[in-house]
Amino acid sequence: MTYDTVREVDQAIADALEGERARQNDTLAMIASENHVSEAVMEAQSSELTNKYAEGYPGERYYGGCEYADEIEELAIERAQELWGAEHVNVQPHSGSQANMGVYLAVLDPGDKILSLDLTHGGHLSHGHPANFAGQVYDVEQYEVDAETGYIDYEGLADHAEEFDPDVIVSGYSAYPREVDFQRIQETADAADAYHLADIAHITGLVAAGVHESPVGVADFVTGSTHKTIRAGRGGIIMCGEEHADDVDAAVFPGSQGGPLMHNVAGKAVGFGEALDPEFEAYAEQTVANAKALGDRLQEHGL
């Protein structure tokens, strides 16, 4: 991809784009949300679909000329269902945070209770931090990791849930490097008569490849972003059972968004297709091996 056309009309932006390309090529970024997508995903995201408005869902749009938008969104959904084994998938959320918002709007009323991991212990803003919409609209309490081991205190979580009586328990984290026992958290949610939202934003690719336990079919709702380990371009995704499909879809559109970013949906479709290739499993396995090797070396040096 070149920026010749941009340079003809905006030298300053072209220079900045070239600078960013050089920065990415010359830097080892160990940030999940800065993973690299393929050229195919980038082409899809920079396609003519950036001009297309497609408010609604496939076959039920509020604008004309959506036959190709429908085809692309349906492919993205079908590929996501194959990757993660989900009954229902919504690929329209603009981000992982908006995917979480979609679930909250689907099952909660203002003032309802959320129990989630504290941000300083590895949680995420959208799980109920006071600065975030979730923390301002809902009644949020947060659990923590064990101070000695750094692992989730599952027994403490169960006790906290029994005392707090939450409507939603959130699992899945932004800075927790250990494998998550989604089944155990589901048992805690069941005991509390709460929904379980598993946010797998950072491990979508690892789950799809089978190198991390999957919460799909375990948790009531599974959300994630699509630009981290799944490498499908920026955006979000919601997965759930058919019993929640209508509520989730209505919460995304018209509940919290207008038209989807169809060029990003196309990128998701391409990225999901790439993840169905057997080579992706090797990539995910190597990602985990690299992380373990780095952790071992850091510990050897006293960190």
The mean per-residue pLDDT over the stretch 86-112 comes to: 98
What pLDDT score was predicted for residue 1? Answer: 79
The strand pair at 60-61 and 56-57 is best described as antiparallel
Residue 190 pLDDT exceeds 90: yes
**Quick check: 239 and 223 in contact, CB under 8 A?**
yes
Looking at the fold, whether 9 and 139 belong to one and the same domain comes out as no
Phi, psi torsion values for 282, nearest 5 degrees: -65, -40
CB count in 10 Å sphere of residue 302: 5
Q: Residue 294 domain-assigned?
A: no
Looking at the fold, whether 1 and 145 belong to one and the same domain comes out as no
| Range(s) of the domain holding residue 19 | 1-30
Q: Residue 38 domain-assigned?
A: no
Looking at the fold, whether 198 and 271 belong to one and the same domain comes out as yes
> Sorting pLDDT into bands at 50, 70 and 90, what band is 137?
very high
Looking at the fold, whether 134 and 237 belong to one and the same domain comes out as yes
Looking at the fold, whether 70 and 1 belong to one and the same domain comes out as no
Phi, psi torsion values for 216, nearest 5 degrees: -65, 130
What pLDDT score was predicted for residue 2? Answer: 86
**Beta strands, E only, 35-155:** 56-57, 60-61, 88-90, 113-117, 139-143
| Residues 301, 176: Cα–Cα separation, whole Å | 21
Longest dimension (CA), the chain: 63
pLDDT tens string 247-273: 999 999 999 999 999 999 999 999 999
Helices (H) and strands (E) in the chain, counts: 12, 9
Residue 99 pLDDT exceeds 90: yes
Q: Count of domains in the chain?
A: 2
Tokens read off for 264 = 């990003």
The mean per-residue pLDDT over the stretch 74-83 comes to: 99
Instruction: Kindly state the percentage of the chain with pLDDT values over 90.
Output: 94
pLDDT tens string 192-221: 999 999 999 999 999 999 999 999 999 999
Looking at the fold, whether 227 and 79 belong to one and the same domain comes out as yes
Looking at the fold, whether 138 and 92 belong to one and the same domain comes out as yes
Of 35, 99, 73, 68, the C-alpha closest to 269 is 73
Looking at the fold, whether 23 and 144 belong to one and the same domain comes out as no
The mean per-residue pLDDT over the stretch 112-122 comes to: 93
What pLDDT score was predicted for residue 303? Answer: 87
pLDDT tens string 23-42: 999 999 999 999 999 999 99
What pLDDT score was predicted for residue 10? Answer: 98
